[in-house]
Amino acid sequence: MRNFFLYFKGFDWIIFMVVLLLICFSLATIYSITLAREDFGLLNFKKQVLFAIVGIILLFLAAFTDHRLIGASSYLLYFATIILLLGVLIFSESIRGMKGWLTLGSLSFQPVELAKIVLVIFLAKYFSNPEREGHEGRYILISTAFTLPLVLLVCLQPDFGSALILVAIWLGMLTFIGVKRAYFLFTIFIIAVILIASWFFVFEDYQRTRIMTFFEPRLDPLGRGYNITQSVIAIGSGQVFGRGLGFGPQSQLKFLPEAQADFIFAVFAEELGFIGVFLILSFFGVLFYRIVVSARRVRDDFGLFLILGFLIFFVLQVFVNIGMNMALLPVAGISLPFVSCGGSSLITSLIAIGIIESVILHYNRYPTV
C-alpha cells in the first residue's frame, strides 16, 4: 500500500482537481440542457459521463508512461494521424457540409482533435534535437513540411477553425524555440503568399463563400450569424447570478443551437451568471498557472516543449471558444476544453493533461535528470 501512495507522490493533484471541477461544471450544464431536449433525453449526458471516465483512465495511463517513450513514438503517431485524416475524407459521410467524423457502430470520433495533440508531441520532439542551434532556417522549413499536410487535410473537411489552431500551435512553438525574428517574419510572409495564391487560384467559389462566412457571420444571418446573436443574448441575460440551472430561456427553448457543444459557455453564463463565469475562468487561470510553474522545473527540451505546446493548445482553445461565444471572434467550431459536450475533445484534452503529468512526475522523482 505504501508503494502505491509513493507512486502517486509526484502527481500534480491541483491540476487534476481543477480539471475534475471543470468536468463537473460541464456535466451539470449538459444535464440542465437535456431537460428541454426531448429528442435526446439524457443520452448526451450519459455519453459525456462515459467519455469522462474513459478520458480519466487514459489520463492516468499517459501520466505513468515515461514522456520520453511518447517522444520516441512521435513519427508513428504523426503518420497514424495522417492515415486517420485521409480516412475521414475517403470514408466518412458529410454532416452539415463537413466530413470530420469516423464512425464505428454507434460511436463517432474526430481525428482532428487527435491531430492537435499529436502535432504538439511531434514538434516538441523535433525541436528538442540538440543540433537545432544555428540551423533555425532548416528547422522552420522541415517543421512546415510536417505541419502543412495536417492543415491541408483538415481544410479539406473543411474545418477552418481547427486548421487555424494547428497553424497557431506551430507558430507558438516556433516562438518558444527561439528562432531569429527574420526567420519568423519570413515564415509568416511565405504563409501569407500561399494563402493569397490559394484564394485566387485554388479555391472554388463555394469554398471562398464558406471562408468569407466564417470570418463574417452576418453574411449568413440564419446560420452562423444566428448562432452568435443567440449566444450574445444568452450571455447578457445571465447578469450577475444567472437564471439558474435548467431555467435559461435561450437554451431551454432551443433558441441557441449547439448549446451543449460550441456554445456551452453562453449557456453557462446564462444559467450561472457573472459569478459562474468568474469561477470557470478562475479554474482555467489556476490550470494555466500550474502548467507554467511545472514548466520551470523541467530540465530537458522535449519535456519543456511538450508542456509549453499543450499550454498553447489549451489557451488557444479557451480564447477562441469564449471569443466566438461573445461575438469577438468568428464561429470556428472550437470546443471549450473539458466543458463542451463531445467525446473526442474531452478524451484528447485529458490525454494531454496526462502527458503533462508524465513530465511533472518524472522531474518530481528525478529532479536533476
Render each residue's pLDDT in the chain as its tens digit; 369 residues: 555 566 677 789 999 999 999 999 999 999 888 876 665 557 888 899 999 999 999 999 999 999 999 999 999 999 999 999 999 988 877 776 677 888 877 778 899 999 999 999 999 999 988 766 656 778 888 898 999 999 999 988 888 889 989 999 999 998 887 777 777 777 778 778 877 887 777 666 766 766 676 666 666 666 667 777 888 888 988 888 888 887 777 877 777 777 788 889 999 899 999 999 999 999 999 999 999 999 988 888 999 999 999 999 999 999 999 998 988 887 778 999 999 998 999 999 999 999 999 999 987 766 655
Kindly report whether the global pTM for this prediction surpasses the value 0.85: yes
Q: How far apart are CA 105 and CA 43, in angstroms?
A: 16
The secondary structure element, H or E, covering residue 336 is: none
Angstrom distance (rounded) from CA 201 to CA 185: 24
Cell of 114: 487527435
Interatomic CA distance for residues 300 and 235, integer angstroms? 43
Where helices occur in 128-216 by DSSP H, the ranges are 136-155, 160-176, 181-201, 205-215
State the DSSP H helix or E strand holding residue 104, giving kind and residue range, or none if neither.
strand 102-104
pLDDT of residue 27: 94
Query: Given this model, what pLDDT does residue 328 score?
Result: 83
C-alpha grid cell, residue 133:
542551434
As beta bridge partners, residue 104 has 107
- Give the CA angle between residues 273, 276, 281 to the nearest 5°: 125
Task: Name residue 102's beta-bridge partners.
Answer: 109
Distances (CA, A) of 330 to 219, 261, 320, 321, 327: 12, 16, 9, 9, 7
| Predicted local confidence at residue 203, as pLDDT | 66
User: Which pLDDT score, from 0 to 100, does residue 207 have?
Assistant: 63
74 in Cβ contact with 125 (< 8 Å): yes
The closest of 6, 14, 8, 9 to 293, measured between CA atoms, is 14
User: Cell numbers 502517486 correspond to what residue?
Assistant: 8
